[in-house]
């Protein structure tokens, strides 16, 4: 019943609907009905990258890592060419399919770099803290560089087998480390 939420839903659905790339999950349809808001997505047979790392691969061997990561980069490059910033790149938003295919999911908080609809404003944090760029932590204006930072954190997790701030459980401490310290050395 929240009209602002419905407006955001329509905007996000239209954003996702405009994307057509082999490494991005396809939105087939979206519906607003009295009993709810619905996204009808392409079915993906696979598992989230974080589960794949945790349960199947551990640190991903370099040859497999490079192949998988190139597909993720291709998807995000395409989104950026459409002037979209994903803003929540993380292993749980990347699906690994049988045969090594990759699908980036959840463009739910993506934002167009060309228009500011006022639905998400500077000063509001969006994203998942462990993968946030310093700009996100500081609730500053975001551009494609925030996705590039999150891609780096995701690559770290793929190569090492765990996220850089896995030992921290306090959101504030993670945010403080993001803005004041370099990423931990993956060799450590």
> How many alpha carbons lie under 13 Å from residue 80 in its C-beta half-sphere?
15
* pLDDT for the residue 13: 83
Q: What is the mean pLDDT of each run of 10 residues along the chain (188 residues)?
A: 84 84 93 89 94 96 96 97 90 94 82 48 59 88 91 96 82 89 88
* pLDDT for the residue 123: 44
**Is 29 noted as a catalytic residue in this protein?**
no
Separation of alpha carbons 50 and 18, rounded Å? 27
Separation of alpha carbons 111 and 142, rounded Å? 9
* pLDDT for the residue 112: 61
Catalytic residue among 88, 143, 147, 188: 88
* pLDDT for the residue 138: 87
* pLDDT for the residue 126: 52
């Amino acid at each position: 019943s929240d009209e602002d939420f419905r407006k955001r839903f329509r905007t996000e659905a239209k954003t996702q609907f405009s994307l057509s790339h082999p490494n991005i999950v396809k939105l087939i349809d979206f519906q607003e009905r009295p009993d709810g808001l619905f996204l009808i997505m392409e079915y993906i047979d696979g598992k989230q990258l974080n589960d794949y790392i945790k349960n199947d691969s551990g640190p991903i061997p370099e040859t497999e890592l490079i192949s998988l990561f190139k597909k993720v980069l291709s998807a995000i490059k395409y989104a950026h060419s459409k002037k979209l910033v994903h803003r929540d790149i993380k292993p749980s938003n990347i699906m690994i399919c049988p045969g090594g295919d990759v699908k980036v999911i959840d463009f739910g908080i993506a934002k167009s770099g060309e228009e500011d609809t006022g639905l998400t404003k500077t000063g509001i944090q969006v994203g998942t803290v462990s993968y946030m760029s310093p700009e996100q932590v500081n609730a500053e204006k975001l551009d494609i560089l925030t996705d590039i930072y999150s891609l780096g954190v995701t690559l770290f997790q793929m190569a090492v087998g765990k996220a850089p701030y896995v030992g921290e459980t306090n959101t504030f401490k993670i945010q403080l480390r993001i803005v004041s310290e370099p990423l931990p050395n993956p060799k450590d």
